[in-house]
Structure 1
Amino acid sequence: MKKRIIITISVILIVGVSIYFLVSFLEHKNKQQQPVQKETKEIDYEHMIKNPKNYVGHSIEAEGLVDDSKYINGKGVYSVILLKKGEYTTSVVIVETDKKEALAQQSYIRFEGEITGIYKGNLDLGVQGDLVEIRTKEVIIEESEKSPNMVNVEINEQGNFGNVHVEVDKVRMYPKSTRIYLFLYNKNNTRIYLNDSSIKLYADGKEIPSKYEVLDQSIRLARSLEPNKGTRGVMSFEAAPKDTKKLDLTFEMTMVNQKKPIQFSHEMNMEVIKK
């Protein structure tokens, strides 16, 4: 009887140990078969730029400004994006393999994709050095000159303020920004400076903060003007409400060796014909 009990306990132990090792083996095999989950945690852009190889295979969601974009035959659309999170100083290259139409320059986009390697700078995009390359899964155009949700108001008004000729051409209102297109001409016999801190925009009496944007050279408004020189460009602000009825723009310009600034103030009726 005692011998039978010992045999029974031995069998139970052997079966238990066997089941334990079998379960452990199956769990280990199952883990090996499962695909490796790619990291989606927030990425340190500065570290990514300096150590791009460490981030290959990582998923990324970001937003930024299109600096340049071209279709490269047989490969897709390659675009240089200035990332917003890096205050528009960090550049990456996104690749849309299923597209043929380049993104519009100065468009503001959101995208999702996977970091696949390093883009070697060349003449195709006019960039130098190595940039992080991202294969996109989705690209959403938030703001663009071709965007259907952009409101364009032609102003075409002008005036003279202390020997400075000012023309307000148009206002473009996007979901995330408002851009005012201007022309300034210095008719004084000395240089003038635009005081950035004085630039104010009011929408129906409520101040709209200025917005830092990286703009194409062709629409950058010069901050100083020599005598008999002009500049045409953009002043950028945060988004104004689409139902705004009136915009008021004010700013100051200062002449060399003059303390009293030239003050500009202009009211724009937003209920004119919109295009």
Structure 2
Amino acid sequence: MDRREFAIRVVSPTVFTVLLFVAWEAVCRALKVPLTILPAPSDVFGALWQYRAPIIDNSWVTLWTTLTGFLMATAFGLLLGIGVGWHRALYAGIYPVMVGFNSVPKVAVVPVLILWFGIGEIPAVLTAFLISFFPIVVNVATGLATTEPELEDVLRALGASKLDIMRKVGIPRSLPYFFGSLKVAITLAFVGAVVSETVGANKGIGKLMLDAQAAFQVPIVFAGLLVLAVLGILLYAGTALIEARFTGWAFRGQATR
């Protein structure tokens, strides 16, 4: 990474984030915003340090439920996306059902999951799974379905079977779509897990924020939001690194420019 790229990828976001917190602090101090309305960053970081033990404990719960649901969504979405994208009958039959299911607000499904599995971490895992698998299916199916017909004709003329075309052309071609969907799905998985924790859970950042809200401990609520933002950025960055490792060929021309 040269200096210019380092400045774009590291220095610029850091400076912008610091300026954002400084402006936030200045507005809260200048306008004397009540602590119960909008705490200043100094109050938020103070609560983050003061209550670091319960925040860390609940963060681990939210992190593992999110990752578990996300990994389930990745495996299921990849397999279903390959089937839907490669078989027209499956596409025609399953895709409308998935669109209808995805249109149902997942917060409305959480009470049903709690009724089936009780209050705990299983509903959070399943909610993270349900809310994040759809983008993966759609993107993988799109990557496979948009394979050039001319290329398929050439490969068939050379003796390649349909399975060979899918393994050697279709799946590699859909990898950029797949990893692009993972970056969207990981953030959605956090949304699903936290929503479930706020509806019914024993532990987790969502549960901690809900209890803090009931006690009017607004700095703890914002501290929880800050933790969720940091975790989301880290997981997004990890997914982007894996994407660069496996699909660097797709962006080689952009990197050269």
Verify same fold: TM over 0.5.
no
| Greater RCO (Cα-Cα under 8 Å, separation 6 or more) | 2
Q: Which has the larger radius of gyration?
A: 1
Higher helix share: 2
Whose strand fraction is larger, Structure 1's or Structure 2's? 1
> How high is the TM-score relative to the length of structure 2?
0.21
TM-score (structure 1 length as normaliser)? 0.21
